[in-house]
Amino acid sequence: MLSENLIKALKKTYEPQSLLNTTYKGRDVAFKTDAKGNPVLVFIGRADENGNVKGERYARVLKYDKTGTVIKDHWDKKGRAT
C-alpha cells in the first residue's frame, strides 16, 4: 500500500510525458506522468543495473467532470513490476 507521504508527493505536478526516478524510505521509486504532468504509473522496489525498478506497480485513476474538476483520484495496486 502506498503511504500517505508518498501519495502527497505524487499529487504534485511534474514534467509532462516523462519518467522520473527518485528514492523513498530506502526504496527506489520510478513514476510516469501524463500529458498534464500528473503521475499516473508508479514502480516501487529496487532498481536493477539498467535502472528498471522491480517490485510493486501502481496505477492512478483520475476522472474529471465536464468543468475539469477532479471527481475521482485513487491508486490501484496492479501487481509485481518485473
Residue owning grid cell 505536478? 13
* Cα–Cα distance for residue pair 56/16, rounded to 1 Å: 23
12 lies in some domain? yes
30 lies in some domain? yes
37 lies in some domain? yes
Q: What is the pLDDT of residue 82?
A: 77
42 lies in some domain? yes
- Greatest Cα pair distance in the chain: 44
Domain count of the chain? 1
pTM above 0.85, yes or no: yes
Q: What is the pLDDT of residue 81?
A: 84
Structural domain containing residue 71: 4-76
* Cα–Cα distance for residue pair 74/81, rounded to 1 Å: 19
81 lies in some domain? no
Residue owning grid cell 503521475? 39
- Digit-by-digit pLDDT tens for the chain (82 residues) are 789 999 999 999 999 999 999 999 999 999 999 999 999 999 999 999 988 999 999 999 999 999 999 999 999 999 998 7
Q: Is 74 helix (H, G, I), strand (E, B) or coil?
A: strand
